[in-house]
Amino acid sequence: VITVVGAGRVGSAAALDIVLRRLDDVLLLDIVEGLPQGEALDLGHAASSYGIDVEITGSNDYRDMAGSDIVVVTAGVPRRPGMTRLDLLQRNAEIVRQISSRIVEYAPKSKLLMVTNPLDAMTYLALKATGFPPKRVFGMGSILDSARFRYFLSKRLGVSRSSIQALVIGEHGENMLPLLSHTSVSGVPLPEIVSTDGVKGTVEETRGTAAEVIRLKGGTVYAPAAGVGEIVEAVVKDRKAVFPISAYLDGEYGVRGVCIGVPAVLGREGIERIVELQLVDEEMAVFMRGVEALKKVVSKLEISQ
C-alpha cells in the first residue's frame, strides 16, 4: 500500500497519479473527517472508468498506514499568493513532526517522500524526526523544477519535451539551479543547437513559474502530483531511475548535514546512490547559496540531533 498523508489538492491529485500508473493500492489519510473518504470514493469511481482495479481507501486513523511501503507526506499549509516557501516553515514543521512520529509508530519500515513546503527543510526535519536512514527519506522538489525547465526549453527550442534532457538541482526555492550546462536534446549538447543566450530566459522562467501559478489559481497541483508519481513509480518498480530529489548530503558536493536537490539513483530501497555532477564555479556558487540558506532555516527548527 502507498499512503498519501494529506487529502488536499496536491495529495488527492498525487493519489490519482499513483492510481493511473497502477502502482499499488492507495490509502489517503487526513485529519479532516470525511475528506479522505470522499476523495477515495471519487478516485475509486475514476479508477473504474479507467478499468483500473487498485483499492483506494480514505481514513482519519493513522494506524491504517501499517504495512505501507511508501508514505507520501503532502499535509501542511499550502503556499499562498505572495508567500515564500519559507513563510510556511514553523506551521508546517509542527505538522511534519506529528506525522513523523506516527510514521515511526505505524510504518517504521516505509520510505518517506516529502512534498510539504518548504520542501528541503521539511525533508531534513522528517529525516531527523523519524531517525530513518537517509536513503529512506527524500523530497519531491527538483524533479518538478526539472519538468518545468523542460517545458520552457521545449517552447523555446520548438522540440518535443520528451526529447529534452535537462536538470534542475539545488534548493527547491529561491536558489534553485537550472543547469543549462547539463542540458541536451536527445544527447546533442545544447550549444550545438542554439546559442546559450537564446535560452537563458528559461532559467528565470523556471525559477518564477510556481509563484505565477499560485498567483493565478491559488496553488500548484497537477505538476507536483506528477513529480510524486514519477518518484513512487521508480521505487515501486525498482527502476534505478536517476531523478533530482531532495536528499541528505554527507560529504557529497563537499556538503554535510542538509537535504537539498541532487540527482540520485532511485530503486526499491529508496536512494541507492547520489550522483555528483561537475559544476562550474558560477553554478557551485548558487548551489552553496542554497545550502547556506537551508542551514539557516533548519537552525530555526531546533531539531535535536
> 227, 140 in Cβ contact below 8 A?
yes
Which parts of 234-293 interact with ligand 2OP (CB under 6 A)? none
Q: Is 154 in the site for ligand 2OP (CB under 6 A)?
A: no
- Identify which of residues 86 and 190 has a Cβ nearer to ligand 2OP in the complex: 86
For residue 303, the minimal CB distance to ligand 2OP (Å) is 21
For residue 191, the minimal CB distance to ligand 2OP (Å) is 28
Count of residues of this chain found to bind ligand 2OP when the rule CB under 6 A is applied: 7
- Identify which of residues 110 and 123 has a Cβ nearer to ligand 2OP in the complex: 123
Which parts of 48-87 interact with ligand 2OP (CB under 6 A)? 79, 85
C-alpha to C-alpha distance for 155 and 291, rounded to whole angstroms:
31
- Identify which of residues 163 and 209 has a Cβ nearer to ligand 2OP in the complex: 209
- Identify which of residues 106 and 149 has a Cβ nearer to ligand 2OP in the complex: 149
| Alpha carbon separation from 88 to 71, 215, 279 (Å, rounded) | 21, 16, 30
Q: Is 220 in the site for ligand 2OP (CB under 6 A)?
A: yes
**Closest by Cα among 14, 17, 144 to 85:** 144
C-alpha to C-alpha distance for 121 and 138, rounded to whole angstroms:
11
Active site residues: 172
| 76 exposure class (CB count in 10 Å sphere: 0-12, 13-18, 19+) | buried
Q: Is 210 in the site for ligand 2OP (CB under 6 A)?
A: yes
Cis peptide before 118 (omega within 30 of 0): yes
Nearest residue to ligand 2OP on Cβ basis: 220
C-alpha to C-alpha distance for 232 and 74, rounded to whole angstroms:
14
Q: What is the DSSP string of 195-217?
A: -HHHHTHHHHHHHHHHHHHHHHH
The 113-142 contact track toward ligand 2OP, x by CB under 6 A, reads ----x-------------------------
**Closest by Cα among 248, 264, 254 to 285:** 254
Q: Mention every residue, 6+ apart, whose C-beta is less than 8 A from residue 68.
A: 1, 2, 3, 27, 107, 110
For residue 85, the minimal CB distance to ligand 2OP (Å) is 6
One of 13, 140, 144, 190 touching ligand 2OP (CB under 6 A): 144
Interface positions with ligand 2OP (CB under 6 A): 79, 85, 117, 144, 210, 220, 224
